[in-house]
Structure 1
Amino acid sequence: MSAEQKAGELGITFAPKEPGYLNLCVRTGNLLITSGHTSDLKGKLGDDVSVEQGYEAAKDCAIKILQSVHNAHGTIAGLKVLKLLGCVNSTLEFTDQHLVINGASDLLHELYGKDGDGFHARSALGFAALPTGAAVEIEAIFEIIDG
């Protein structure tokens, strides 16, 4: 089953989106590089947002990334996930950024396979603030391997 079919089974939808101020996903050669996608959840990990809420926010970011990739490329099938950069709005004392960004990684593993095209490099970093007060922001790089 393709990543797109699996996404459909999870209730992830892909509707066309009009271009905005920035390009949310650009293709160069056989790479798809996304802009940062922020969570709808606002707040700071280690203060008013729990790790579990952050995990779901990271998953939300991954869904938005997949929607932008689909909008730019026409499908999310035939891709290899190369790299995620996860940014977590967190207090100085909070050190579980990696557990938060697992929300995005776990979704991509589910769609592309943890031992296959979903096995990716990743950074999970803490930030004092993110745009619009978002709890999480993630960007991604995919390789087009089929198509």
Structure 2
Amino acid sequence: MVDRIPAPAVGAEQRLKELGITLPPPPTPFGNYVEAVRIGKLLYLSGMLPVIDRKPQVIGRLGGELTADEGRRAAEIATLSALSAIRAELGSLDRVTAIAKLGVYIATSGDFRDHPQVADGASDMLAEIFGPEMLSGRIVLGVASLPLGLPVEIELLVEVAE
């Protein structure tokens, strides 16, 4: 366990500009749920998919139709959707004070073993934008399938400034 005082995410919006990253429009639900729920200082995000404007960007399973590099790119796109959902809920990514947990679910063929490489697409994106001191614990799971035939779904739990 790492007991640390999270560094404020001041500058996350500026880092996006410096990196030349434009967030996609905030995602909208594909069912009867909401994309984000705030309880106190915690913001829980629903599963975020590699979808832009309700259009899947990558379809298939890792180790089947897709390579680990393609899965990593799907994780990056899903992370951008998550950041867009956070911004829509909070008004600014600079209000994020800590990333509490990252979950990465990967649709795989039975013998795929490069889960960490795929999940690093999400972790690396978060570290670039919020700083490496904001990295969190994570869980990475291989699953048989994900919604819409997508290869990756991420979930985030973040702490936010009041």
TM-score, scaled relative to structure 1: 0.90
Q: Secondary structure at the match of 2:94?
A: coil
Query: Residue 14 of structure 1: CA displacement?
Result: 5.0
The match for 1:33 is: 44
Q: Which residue identity does 1:97 align to in structure 2? A: H
Task: Quote the Cα distance in structure 2 between the aligned partners of 1:43 and 1:19.
Answer: 22
Offset, 1:17: 4.7
Instruction: Show CA shifts across 1:25-50 (max 9, x none).
Output: 11110001100011221100001101
Q: Quote the RMSD (CA, aligned, Å).
A: 1.8
Aligned partner of 1:142 in structure 2 is: 158
Contact 2:27 2:81 (C-alpha < 8 Å) held by counterparts = no
Indicate if the aligned counterparts of 2:45 and 2:156 stay in contact, CA closer than 8 A.
Answer: yes
Q: Provide the rounded CA distance (Å) in 2 between the counterparts of 1:140 and 1:38.
A: 12
Query: What is the SS of the residue equivalent to 2:125?
Result: helix
Distance of 2:101 and 2:130 partners within structure 1: 13
Corresponding position of 1:60: 77
Quick one: distance in 1 between partners of 2:44 and 2:110? 30
Gaps of 5+ in 2: 1-9, 51-56
C-alpha distance in structure 1 between counterparts of 2:117 and 2:60, whole Å: 16
1:31–1:141 Cα contact (<8 Å) kept: yes
Percentage of identical aligned residues: 33
* SS of structure 2 residue aligned to 1:38: coil
Provide, for residues 48-87 of structure 1, a one-character-per-residue CA deviation record: whole Å limited to 9, x for no partner: 1011111111010100000001001111113111111100
2:110 aligns with one of 79, 92, 113? 92
1:10, CA displacement in angstroms?
2.7
- Tell me if the contact between 1:13 and 1:67 (Cα under 8 Å) persists in the aligned partners: no
CA drift of 1:15 comes to 7.1
Alignment match of 2:123 (pick from 94, 105, 110): 105
Q: What is the CA-CA distance between 1:19 and the residue it aligns to?
A: 5.9
The runs of at least 4 aligned residues of structure 1 exceeding 6 Å deviation read none
Counterpart residue type for residue 95 of structure 1: R
Q: Does 1:121 align with 2:143?
A: no
- 1:13–1:98 CA distance, 2 compared to 1 (3 A): same
